[in-house]
Structure 1
Amino acid sequence: MKKLFPTSTTGSLPKPSWIAEPEKLWSPWKLQGTELNYGKLDALRVSIQEQQNAGIDIIGDGEQTRQHFVTTFIEHLDGVDFKKREIVKIRDRYEASVPTVVGPVSRPSSIFVEDARFLRQQTDQPIKWALPGPMTMVDTLYDAHYKSREKLAWEFAKILNQEAKELEAAGVDIIQFDEPAFNVFFDEVNEWGIACLEKAIEGLKCETAVHICYGYGIKANNDWKKSLGSEWRQYEEVFPKLQQSNIDIVSLECQNSRVPVELIELLRGKKVMVGVIDVATDTIETPEDVAATIREALKYVDADKLYPCTNCGMAPLSREVARGKLNALSAGAEIVRQELSATCTF
């Protein structure tokens, strides 16, 4: 019998303090060489155990072997110069020093596949692996070669498809593409962003997901949210076309956000990873908080298609807070499971 409301994290979890500075994005590694390689795998083991202890159903890697959800992937590509940096505005809201695309981009070898194979060996549960989406990759670089966001995105989509096929072969059950840029560049999303995403999943037999959120709980994102008014309706711009796409699952933010929950209706027929854990606060949700968000979402998504998860990654949080939130996620899903099992047969 398939479990109702399978839970998962969106992506990152806090790293142990012995491998990187805690509660910090872009934190440099504290180890080097062989020690770092072993340290990453040890951190991955810890991350798996934290999820399993909390009762999480779909296990992720917690992004323990990478510094950043976008940049670590790009670091392994040819055609990008990390020493040649330019200041660009990322997601149209904050400036950052980024590497430059100086020539044709290509993937000389697998990037995350060995780590995914290691994750697969550690658990019999379903596993999920996150990759950066093509548009979000483009938005994190200065392009001095293609000089076209769309052309560069198509090249990245081909590269991502190569990696995704190898991740699938390594035993990954769900491949998720992180596309926070989908919440900003609506015209581009509908003109070519979703098409590029479909290129990235071409030929895959495993389940595929796209994650679209309002970002980590960092100042630049929090300030942006304050400017969005009393209702956040960004999803309304992209959900209709995503509903028609070949993506299996759409991952979105709900808990403590100003997203009108009825926008989920625009995805009717898709599986939906509903963010029921707020990652922008240290306040730990109660199981009842989580259950209440799930109940509200159930008005707009069928029960067998609802996957409770976190709003976004939890890398900037303390391990204690993240652990509490994972426990609440699992317990809240179980509350609604029990409620439905008392009235329905699945």
Structure 2
Amino acid sequence: MTGLLPTSIVGSLPKPVWLAEPEKLWSPWKMEAGQLAEGKRDALVLSCAEQHRAGLDIVSDGEQTRQHFVTTFIEQLSGVDFARRETVTIRNRYEASVPTVVGPVAREKPVFVDDARHLRAHTDRPIKWALPGPLTMVDTLYDAHYRSREKLAWEFAAVLNQEARELQAAGVNIIQFDEPAFNVFFDEVNDWGVAALERAIEGLNCETAVHICYGYGIKANTDWKATLGSEWRQYEEIFPRLQTSGVDLVSLECHNSRVPMDLIELIRGKKVMVGAIDVASNRIETPEEVANVLRSALQFVDPDKLYPCTNCGMAPLPREIARGKLKALSEGAELVRRELTGVQASPRESSTHHRAGETVAAS
């Protein structure tokens, strides 16, 4: 797809202050109707340009056109009533008021396909698009129709497959499914969760990824992580099943986590998106810190299968912090890339490497 140690973000980037309230999840839009649609597209192009400027190898939309990584997709489906709310416990961690499944779920029109075409028109680099995974979608709703998490997951998997096939046709190179619920519901993951994910990727020729992290840096998540002890071994429960799945890449949280790096051995043969940027902190990593995470991972994954990335999305962070973290990711990967290839460079060359002369098309 691209060169050695291709860098990317996992999901979201902060939105411009003129589009949405800063440093918030579920941030309210500041525009309406046609203006909002235009503003979202402008933000997408800006996000693309910032990833170019940072030197990332694989570009995404930064989730600029969506309010939430799960709900924005579900909003476009029939069979879900957003006016009928119920309180549920999401990922056994925090309570939230969620919409209700009231009938058969169906995708009546494309959700992100036009946005993907817009991104494709503004970069020559490989692009990655994130969709919510079936199990995480199930865990974000109240089901008054199927009354079975497994049945609902299979319905969502079919819907996701329709969207994924059209995203592939629009020029997307990697389709990533976000499954933070995989870190919680181990029996469901192994019994039917991975199988439902494989239904979602059925028939795709582009690369596919599953992202499994410990969540945004919000209090509910950081409080949960504080209860997990000196080692976070959740991946150990699900990696053996993922290793035998048809998913190409597995994304995991590594930097400033207590995940034993040797758990990567359980997905030997898969490409691994190693989270080398901590999204739960406003501190900007140094390139050397990023490089150290990657060096550690290289004990358990071959260089041609290592994809440096962020731990999770960065929507709640200040934009300048996110920019600094993107730059650190790119420069840290370049340090290791040059060690692997035996190429020496000045600090300036390391920060720009092969990006000189590239431009971003105007919107």
TM-score range, shorter chain: over 0.9
Distance 2:2 2:74 in 1: 37
Name the CA distance, whole Å, in 2 between partners of 1:231 and 1:132.
Answer: 27
1:80 aligns with 2:73: no
Counterpart residue type for residue 278 of structure 2: D
Q: Which residue does 2:231 correspond to in 1?
A: 231
Do the aligned partners of residues 293 and 164 (structure 1) sit closer, same or farther apart at CA in structure 2, a change above 3 Å counting? same
Give the distance between the partners of 1:33 and 1:96, measured in 2 at CA: 27
Whether the 8 Å CA contact 2:22–2:318 is kept in 1: the answer is: yes
Paired residue type of 1:107: R
Equivalence map 1:17-36=2 (5 Å): 17-36=17-36
Residue of structure 2 equivalent to 1:52: 52
- The amino acid of 1:103's aligned partner reads G
TM-score, normalised on structure 1? 0.98
Q: CA deviation at 1:2?
A: 4.4
Name the amino acid aligned to 1:221.
N
- Stretches of 4+ moved more than 2 A in 1? none
Q: Does structure 1 conserve the Cα–Cα contact (< 8 Å) formed by 2:54 and 2:323?
A: yes
2:2–2:57 CA contact under 8 A, matched in 1: no
Q: Tell me the secondary structure at the aligned position of residue 122 of structure 1.
A: coil
User: What's 2:333 paired with?
Assistant: 333
In the alignment, structure 1 residue 102 sits paired with structure 2 residue 88 = no
- Measure the CA separation in 2 of the matches of 1:3 and 1:151: 41
Match of 1:156 in 2: 156
After TM superposition, the score normalised by the length of structure 2 is: 0.94
- Superposed CA RMSD in Å reads 0.8
Matched residue, 2:216 = 216
Distance of 1:66 and 1:338 partners within structure 2:
37
Amino acid at match of 1:90: I
How far apart in 1 are the matches of 2:8 and 2:273? 9
Deviation of 1:3 (Å): 1.1
Secondary structure of the residue aligned to 2:88 is strand
Name the aligned partner's letter for residue 310 of structure 1.
T
Q: How does 1:1-346 map to 2 (within 5 A)?
A: 2-342=2-342
Secondary structure at the aligned position of 2:276 is classed as strand
What residue identity is the alignment partner of 2:67? Q
* Cα distance in structure 1, aligned partners of 2:336 and 2:27: 37
Once residues 284 and 201 of structure 1 are traced to their aligned partners in structure 2, the CA distance between those partners, rounded to angstroms, is 35
- What residue is the counterpart of 2:360 in the other structure? none
Question: Could you say what secondary structure the match of 1:277 adopts?
Answer: coil
Q: For the Cα contact (< 8 Å) 2:127–2:172, is it kept in 1?
A: yes
Per-residue CA shift, 1:291-323, capped at 9, x if unaligned?
Answer: 000000000000000000000000000000000
**What amino acid does structure 2 have at the position aligned with 1:309?**
C
Unaligned 5+ runs, structure 1: none
1:244-264 CA-partner distances (Å, limit 9, x unpaired): 000000000000000000000
Once residues 81 and 111 of structure 2 are traced to their aligned partners in structure 1, the CA distance between those partners, rounded to angstroms, is 17
Per-residue CA deviations over 1:97-117 (Å, capped at 9, x if unaligned) read: 000000000000000000001
Quote the Cα distance in structure 2 between the aligned partners of 1:148 and 1:94: 21
Counterpart of 2:337 in structure 1: which amino acid?
Answer: R
Match of 2:361 in 1: none
Aligned AA (1:218): I
Distance, in Å, in 2 between the alignment partners of 1:169 and 1:318 is 34
Deviations 1:85-126 (A, max 9, x none): 000000001000000000000000000000001000000100
| Aligned partner of residue 125 in structure 2, secondary structure | coil
Q: Which ranges of structure 2 fall in alignment gaps of 5 or more residues? A: 344-363
Q: Sequence identity, in percent?
A: 75
Name the CA distance, whole Å, in 2 between partners of 1:224 and 1:120. 38
Give me the whole-angstrom Cα distance separating, in 2, the residues matched to 1:52 and 1:22.
22
| Cα distance in structure 2, aligned partners of 1:156 and 1:252 | 23
SS at match of 1:104: strand
| Number of residues of Structure 1 aligned to a counterpart in Structure 2 | 343
